[in-house]
Amino acid sequence: MSQSHLPVLNDIPSSIAELLDEEECWEFNILELEAATHKRPLSYLGLKIFSAFGVCEFLNCTEATLRSWLQVIEANYHASNSYHNSTHAADVLHATAYFLRKDRVKGSLDQLDEVAALLAATVHDVDHPGRTNSFLCNAGSDLAILYNDTAVLESHHAALAFQLTVRDSKCNIFKNMERTQFRTLRQAIIDMVLATEMTRHFEHVNKFVNSINKPMSSEGSDCEGQASIRNSPENRLLIKRMLIKCADVANPCRPLELCIEWAGRISEEYFAQTDEEKRQGLPVVMPVFDQNTCSIPKSQISFIDYFITDMFDAWDAFASLPGLMEHLAENYKYWKNLDEMKCKSLRPPPPPCPS
């Protein structure tokens, strides 16, 4: 891309710009970007990806407005969360962009869908308190009461994202949009953020398999038949939901070192919740995530078996992601190997020193 198309990136430190050059690659190291940007990876990665997808042109907003928006959204992620911070949002945005560039995904969605997916990924966990929906409901938190114990966090992420956006003209990326197009975009963003709620995981995956994978495989090599299956509005909705769901939990499909780091971060956040539940006499929602007894390899194996394998098999059958599936198999083997060694930690113990 010519520099003239990327004026927004012209005042970015060269060390950060060099890291961002690898952004189209699945093996992109988001943790290096986190360090280089002093924990502001979302703003920098967002500028790069939104520029590549022509988001400003689509929204009819300036790059200055987009930059302000990214900074406001990123500032409302909690850097104090070990997992649900702006690096996770940047990671999900990266995976979302990677999926949107896959031929079959590209051929199924229009630009509004793409922009909705990128915006939804950016905001999907904004102001996450580092506690689960179950915890918030059990604790009788303000948010749980506001949202009637239903999709509490996801409703909050979506609602707050729009509140933060329209509150100040300086960061209102939607201010120049035509009303009907804004309504459509808004609905698509809300739908995708709400789809990240795990209580409806199997429903979303099964709908995708039954409405998209199965009909497309029975169509055989009839491209037009396949395209007509993909491109109905209802099925585009299912594709967008599946896309953000997979992006949100893609950690086990990342290179091993990244996979291990993310596993450590989510475990730390869950340990902190269990500790707080015990201190406050609340029900312990995830008893396996007890600092004193937890096997991290076992928890990862269970997560992959229960949620990840079937969903990524279905997404891979649609989008064709051989690299991800190789990482997933390698990472699964890594956790299995640790578990067979009865190792409960993230890494194997160092070999004993020769005496």
Catalytic residue annotation? 84
What Rg do the C-alpha atoms of the chain give, in angstroms? 21
88 assigned to a ligand binding site: yes
CA distance 346 to 306: 20
Distances (CA, A) of 133 to 219, 276, 282, 329: 41, 14, 13, 30
Residues in the chain: 355
113 assigned to a ligand binding site: no
CA distance 273 to 286: 9
313 assigned to a ligand binding site: no
204 assigned to a ligand binding site: no
* Residue 320 · residue 104 · CB < 8 Å: yes
71 assigned to a ligand binding site: no
Q: How many CA atoms lie within 13 A of 152 on its CB side?
A: 20
85 assigned to a ligand binding site: yes
Cα dihedral 40, 45, 47, 48 in deg (nearest 10): 150
CA distance 308 to 205: 10
Q: How many CA atoms lie within 13 A of 249 on its CB side?
A: 20
Angle (nearest 5°) at CA 132 between 205 and 310: 20
Counts of helices then strands in the chain (DSSP H, E) = 20, 0
How is residue 101 annotated by DSSP? T
Distances (CA, A) of 186 to 12, 89, 183, 309, 344: 30, 19, 5, 31, 44
275 assigned to a ligand binding site: no
CA distance 33 to 52: 18
Amino acid (one-letter) located at 55: V
- The values of phi and psi at residue 276, to 5°, are -65, -40
Tokens of 293: 């007894």
124 assigned to a ligand binding site: yes
Report which of 96, 67, 87 is spatially closest to residue 9, judged by C-alpha positions. Answer: 67
134 assigned to a ligand binding site: no
List binding-site positions for Zn(2+).
Answer: 88, 124-125, 248
List binding-site positions for AMP.
Answer: 84-88, 125, 248, 300
